Amino acid sequence: MYWYRDGNPLSLLPWLAVMLIVWLAGWLLASHAFRLQSRERLIVGLGLGLTLYVWLVNLFGRWLAPELAFSLPAVLLLVVAALVAWRSGADRWLDPADLRIWPWLVVGFALFYLFMLWSKGLTLFDEHKNLSLISIIGNGNIPPEYLPGYVRKFAYHYGFHIVGGSLMQLGGMLPWSAFDLSKSFLWAITLLLAALVGCRYIGRAWGAWAIPALVALAAGTRYLLLILPPGFLLRADSEVQLQGTSALINKPFSEALVSPWLVDGGPPMDYIFGFLNGIMDPLVMAHQGPNTFSVLIFLLVWLLAPNLRKIGSAALLAVVLAAWALAWEATYGLFMLGLFGFAAIFFVQQRNLALPQLRWGLAAGVASAVLVLFQGGTITELLREFLFGYEGPGLLQSLGLGVSSTLPIAGTAASSQFFGFSLRWPLAIVSAHLGPLSLFSPVQLIVALFELGPVFLFTPWITRWAWHRAKAGDWLLGVLTCAAWLGFTIPIFFQYQSDRDISRLTWQAMLAWTLLLPLVIADRNFRWPGWLRPAAVGALALTSFSGLMIAGTQFSATSTTRLGENFNQLDSLIATQMWGKLPRDAHVMGPLGSTTILSGQLTSVVQGEPPLDDIYHRFIEQPTLQELKLFSYDFYYIDSRVWEELDPEIRATSHLDDECVVTFAEVWDNARINYRRMLDLRACTD
């Protein structure tokens, strides 16, 4: 069982109905709140409606039961869209000419199907964090908790997981199928939005496929290091160290370039390390989900922000920007810096802000910042930690205001770092695979330039073109350019507590420059040396080659179907019996990850491992009914793969077979060897 908890494809119908309502609402808003072309309104409406829906679910999920939390926002969104259409005074609310875009929708479905084939054959990034978030959010834990029962929420960009949660709650899907389908759905919408950007700016047929092709395939050119002299690569072996999962290759850098990337859940045909990238992974490899949603909103803002009508449009843009922070706070923050940075530079130069809709855009940015402070997610929780602290005094208590958190959770605002940032020395370009590559080491600098790819060499002309267009009225191009330069320079001068994560800023910079370069190529009025145009085309081809190779590798996974990592049919069967069926306030204990994923109830930390001295380990390694009840646990989940590894004496003295213990759910394999079992402890007394 991969797809549905009840095995019936008709279970998806309620989710499809909600998505159609969301799409209709988005179409109405795109038609009446923004100045969009006919060919843009239907696809932009889908992206806009979905983004607003995610934000509303995050809002209403705090107070409503899961069924209402995932369905009522769609109805509310449609009511708001109908009011906007009515107040516009238009003779007809929707233009049938917008439907002439239907061939694009067919292409979009093909893209969805392709990424779904890849996703169901891979279990990359199916770690318990992603599947757990989808499961608990689908079961109504919104915003998701960090630990069961604590006030502190999980500081994470969980906007994408709300889409997966809707598929579990309304579509009857299992966690892994909801994860794969939500990724594929957003991936297809993202590429359709990219095609609209290409059509708007390039104005030729090739723009409709060039921009989405770059979004999907663009990466660095690490593989080109192989054409350098062998002596250089030998020097690189002593200066470049592989980081993270890449270190598992356990070979010198020169040999690693042509070696398989050792990663769990990959395709049958291994990824080759030389075609991967630690700064800009191609979107064909976006199997974790949040980055796809971030790119979708990035393109949506690109299409919407220069086409605001009035204050209502600015309000909608503010919510879209707030949803961006919920999807990926780093790229949202970078855009905000670019927005206000561009406005400041323009004002200093021109002594005014007289650009079309720029003031409304700034107002939307300010409003979104206010929403972001309270909506949940990373920025909200970082602010709460900074003000109140989680262990030790926060800012308010340090100032003598007597306000502090009562949460016994590690982490404090009193630190030599500022929100996890500190100065970097030596200055470096950061790759998630290769670590900081020093600007003062010629070898590391050359490796960093190949990691970035040749598009970076064209940034002076991209910047000049974008600034000229911005001063002429298309101010968003100036914003994107300012944000790109900030995203590129910040990681050079500052390091982050999880330093590999700061490469996301460089990724966003390279994505913006990569998408702007073909717009420069297409502008025949822009003056630059004649040889640069074919050189730029060649640079884009080289930067897309890695993504093409990765896409080809992933085709080896299309003929297989894999559940989440370390899950099998027994896990699917037990999930059908217990997901969403336990009491909302029940305390559940069981193996980390799988218990949360299969039941929809958070059992321990949602990310990482509990500390070694945490009581969780005792409940797994030496469980006893008395201690479980002492800590107020209502259910205990048994996976035979874990349970049968315990000492027989520990199992015998656990008393989990006492008469008061009731089997809530249970499944066995055909050989009656492996099993899954959820035990109900509520009838047992202390």
Class of residue 542 by CB neighbours under 10 A (exposed 0-12, middle 13-18, buried 19+): middle
Of all residues in the chain, the percent with pLDDT exceeding 70 is 95
Reference 108, options 164, 171, 184, 30; nearest CA is 184
Q: How far apart are CA 578 and CA 598, in angstroms?
A: 7
pLDDT band for position 614 (cuts 50, 70, 90)? confident
**What is the tens place of the pLDDT at every residue in 347-372?**
999 888 888 899 999 999 999 999 99
- For residue 404, pLDDT over 50 is answered with no
pLDDT band at 408 (very low <50, low <70, confident <90, very high): very low
Helix, strand, coil in percent for the chain, rounding step 5: 60, 5, 35
CA atoms within 13 A on the CB side of 249: 24
Looking at residue 142, the DSSP 8-state letter turns out to be -
pLDDT greater than 90 at residue 393:
no
pLDDT of residue 605: 81
pLDDT value, residue 405 = 47
Mean pLDDT of the 79-94 span:
92
Find the mean pLDDT for residues 111-129: 88
CA distances from 229 to 224, 446, 652 (A): 11, 13, 66
Per-residue pLDDT band at 409 (split at 50, 70, 90)? very low
Would you state the pLDDT for residue 412? 33
DSSP-based three-state secondary structure for 316: helix
Q: Whole-number mean pLDDT of the chain?
A: 91
Please tell me the predicted confidence (pLDDT) of residue 126: 59
Angle subtended at Cα 114 by Cα 18 and Cα 521, rounded to the nearest 5 degrees: 100
Instruction: Name the residue among 91, 16, 80 with its Cα closest to residue 48.
Output: 80
Query: Could you tell me the pLDDT band of residue 186, with boundaries at 50, 70 and 90?
Result: very high
In tens, the pLDDT along 41-83 reads 999 999 999 999 999 999 999 999 999 999 999 999 999 999 9
Angstrom distance (rounded) from CA 510 to CA 487: 9
Return the HEC string of 45-96.
Answer: HHHHHHHHHHHHHHHHCCCCCHHHHHHHHHHHHHHHHHHHHHHHCCCCCCCH
Which has the higher per-residue pLDDT, 154 or 371? 371
pLDDT the model gives residue 401: 56
Report which DSSP code applies to 397. H
Structure confidence at residue 413 as a pLDDT band (50, 70, 90)? very low
Helix (H) or strand (E) holding 677: strand 675-680
For residue 11, give Cα distances in angstroms to 5, 16, 169, 174, 238: 9, 10, 10, 11, 56
At residue 98 the predicted structure's pLDDT band, cuts being 50, 70 and 90, is very high
Under DSSP, is residue 16 helix (H, G, I), strand (E, B) or coil?
A: helix
Give me 682's structure tokens: 């509520």
Q: What tokens appear for 408 in the block?
A: 């016994």
**pLDDT, mean of residues 200-227:** 94
Say how many C-beta atoms besides its own lie within 10 A of residue 452's C-beta. Answer: 26
Q: In sequence order, what DSSP letters do the residues of 246-274 get, joined into one string?
A: GGGG-S-HHHHTTSB---TT--SSPPBGG
Residue-wise pLDDT for 552-588, tens only, equals 999 999 999 998 888 999 999 999 999 999 998 899 9
Give pLDDT, residue 354: 86
pLDDT tens for 299-319 read: 999 999 999 988 899 999 999
Using CA atoms, how far apart are residues 177 and 179, in angstroms rounded to an integer? 5
Alpha helices in 139-282 (DSSP H): 159-169, 175-202, 207-217, 230-239, 253-256
Please state the pTM of the whole predicted model.
0.94
